[in-house]
């Protein structure tokens, strides 16, 4: 099924406003409300054509000819500009169906590696199926999200902030699609991670986070590159859609899982898995695994609202050093997560060592959160069949060696 947007009227006011409209999602298999930024001048300008992916009204290029006004360089205005660029003159914009988008994404993404270890099962007293993303392109699940963004957004330049994994994934996705990206990283980032982004073709901007935050620098760049797409590594509809491909893969395994345990940082992976399972009509409980030192998501679930960390948490799971869940992620996880296990630092490190010794698997500390959760609540999980999501394997060799030897990082 395709949707063709009608031609806009000729008498469109020059200045446009940006609003976030929430449309009831009639065509979305999830049965949830979807959000999409759209630009419009007045009700005459906003044509009521429904996107099969987002089930919301979209502007055509003629509607947008006056240019977006509002916060310069904001994600909302950039996405509106990008959506407007989808217009194709008088013929309007032809959008792919959700199924076609799935096929395009899954043609490029490597399927997750399913690993089962009898020794690990005996050690835990539970049947554990590992869904490992360590062999994914660029070494983590982030490629699913990055490729989804670059494939669907019409912009040629992408801006983001990353400590490593998403930056690498975005750079590689841009190379595949013949686009470009700028990744803002902390000045104290490991040389290995910086070079990885650069080797995939990305440009790296280093900032001293004691002077300026990574995202403050991103917004400065957004003003300089007004046609760029600013992408959050987790709080973005394309990101969540990309990560939902893993949820669909897990559903397609047709295993009788008692639960799926997944690491939680900003919430991009967990929300994608929840969405993917619902798309496949699978009702498998999803349990989050979060560092105890970075337990904003767990506190948010208890409070019924988003709770933020005051500062970047000092957890060894660097992929979970976020200040808070993303807004879009919270909308999904507030009802989609069964609960969250808060994992102490020593259990994260133990999980990393157990993966190495009993599953012959090298993982980064964040990827050990799922197993760390099983170790934290061993009695709760005993006798159950569990899918443990292993998010990636990109870890600094020195850090990894010290953790294997049981030393402090």
Q: What is the mean pLDDT of residues 12-20?
A: 31
Q: What is the pLDDT of residue 18?
A: 29
Instruction: Judge whether 315 and 159 are in contact, CB under 8 Å.
Output: no
Assign residue 31 a region: left if phi > 0, alpha if psi is -120 to 50, beta otherwise? left
7 vs 373: which has the higher pLDDT: 373
Residue 239's φ and ψ, nearest 5 degrees, are -65, -50
CA distance 57 to 35: 11
Which residue is it, tokens 């397609």?
Answer: 252
SS (H, E, C) 129-168: EEEECCCCHHHECHHHHHHHHHHHCCCCEEEEECCCHHHH
Q: What does pLDDT average to over the chain? A: 81
Q: What is the pLDDT of residue 275?
A: 97
- Own/partner contacts of 109-116, CB < 8 Å, gap of 24 or more, are 109/136, 109/137, 109/143, 109/144, 109/147, 109/245, 110/135, 110/136, 110/137, 111/249, 112/136, 112/246, 112/249, 112/250, 114/253, 115/359, 115/361
DSSP string, 237-248: HHHHHHHHHHHH
Instruction: Judge whether 179 and 157 are in contact, CB under 8 Å.
Output: yes
Q: What is the mean pLDDT of residues 278-293?
A: 97
Q: What is the pLDDT of residue 409?
A: 64
DSSP string, 321-361: --SS--HHHHHHHHHH-SEEEEEPHHHHHHHHHHHHHHH--
Instruction: Judge whether 322 and 296 are in contact, CB under 8 Å.
Output: yes
Q: What is the pLDDT of residue 98?
A: 81
Q: How many CB atoms lie within 10 A of CB 214?
A: 18
Tokens of 273: 């898995």
Q: How many CB atoms lie within 10 A of CB 398?
A: 11
Torsion angle of alpha carbons 296, 297, 298, 303, nearest 10°?
A: 80
Q: What is the mean pLDDT of residues 174-198?
A: 91
Q: How many CB atoms lie within 10 A of CB 94?
A: 11
Q: What is the pLDDT of residues 224-266, one digit of tens each?
A: 999 999 999 999 999 999 999 999 999 999 999 999 999 999 9
Domains and CATH numbers, the chain: 107-139+236-405 (3.40.50.1100), 154-230 (3.40.50.1100)
**Taking 80 as the threshold, does the pLDDT of residue 6 lie above it?**
no
Q: What is the pLDDT of residue 190?
A: 76
Q: What is the pLDDT of residues 28-57, one digit of tens each?
A: 333 333 333 333 333 333 333 333 333 333
**Taking 50 as the threshold, does the pLDDT of residue 347 lie above it?**
yes
Q: What is the pLDDT of residues 109-163, one digit of tens each?
A: 999 999 999 999 999 999 999 999 999 999 999 999 999 999 999 999 999 999 8
Q: What is the pLDDT of residues 329-338, one digit of tens each?
A: 999 999 999 9
Tokens of 120: 């690990």
Q: What is the mean pLDDT of residues 379-395?
A: 96
**3: β partners:** 95
**For residue 300, which of 329, 321, 274 has the smallest C-alpha distance?**
329
Q: What is the mean pLDDT of residues 349-354?
A: 98
Instruction: Judge whether 172 and 152 are in contact, CB under 8 Å.
Output: no
CA distance 325 to 281: 25
Q: Give percent of the chain with pLDDT exceeding 90.
A: 66
Q: How many CB atoms lie within 10 A of CB 12?
A: 19
Tokens of 7: 């031609």
């Amino acid at each position: 099924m395709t949707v063709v947007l009608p031609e806009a009227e000729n008498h469109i006011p020059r200045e446009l406003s940006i609003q976030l409209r929430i449309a009831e999602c009639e065509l979305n298999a999830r049965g949830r409300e979807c959000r999409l930024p759209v630009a419009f001048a007045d009700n005459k300008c906003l044509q009521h054509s429904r996107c099969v992916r987002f089930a919301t009204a979209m502007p055509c290029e003629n509607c947008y000819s006056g240019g977006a006004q509002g916060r310069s360089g904001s994600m909302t205005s950039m996405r509106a500009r990008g959506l407007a660029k989808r217009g194709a003159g008088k013929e309007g914009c032809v959008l792919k169906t959700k199924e076609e988008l799935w096929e395009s994404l899954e043609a490029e993404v490597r399927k997750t590696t399913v690993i089962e270890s009898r020794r690990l099962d005996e050690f835990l007293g539970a049947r554990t199926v590992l869904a490992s993303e360590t062999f994914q392109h660029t070494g983590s699940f982030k490629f699913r999200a990055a490729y989804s963004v670059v494939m669907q957004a019409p912009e040629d330049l992408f801006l983001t902030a990353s400590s490593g994994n998403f930056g690498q994934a975005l750079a590689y996705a841009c190379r595949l699609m013949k686009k470009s990206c700028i990744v803002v990283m902390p000045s104290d980032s490991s040389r290995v991670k910086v070079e990885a982004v650069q080797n995939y073709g990305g440009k790296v901007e280093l900032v001293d986070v004691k002077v300026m935050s990574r995202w403050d620098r991103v917004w400065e760049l957004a003003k300089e590159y007004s046609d760029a797409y600013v992408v959050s590594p987790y709080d973005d509809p394309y990101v969540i859609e990309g990560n939902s491909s893993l949820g669909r893969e897990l559903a397609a395994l047709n295993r009788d899982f008692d639960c799926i345990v997944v690491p939680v940082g900003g919430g991009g992976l967990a929300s994608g898995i929840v969405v993917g399972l619902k798309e496949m009509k699978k009702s498998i409980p999803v349990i989050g695994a979060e560092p105890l030192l970075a337990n904003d998501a767990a506190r948010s679930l208890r409070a019924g609202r988003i709770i933020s960390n005051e500062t970047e948490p000092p957890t060894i799971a660097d992929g979970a050093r976020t200040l808070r869940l993303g807004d879009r992620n919270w909308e999904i996880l507030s009802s989609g997560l069964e609960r969250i296990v808060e994992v102490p630092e020593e259990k994260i490190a133990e999980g990393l060592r157990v993966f190495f010794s009993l599953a012959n698997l090298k993982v980064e500390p964040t990827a050990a959160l799922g197993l760390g959760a099983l170790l934290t609540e061993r009695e709760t999980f005993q006798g159950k069949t569990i899918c443990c999501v292993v998010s990636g394997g990109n870890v600094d060799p020195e850090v990894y060696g010290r953790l294997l030897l049981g030393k402090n990082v």
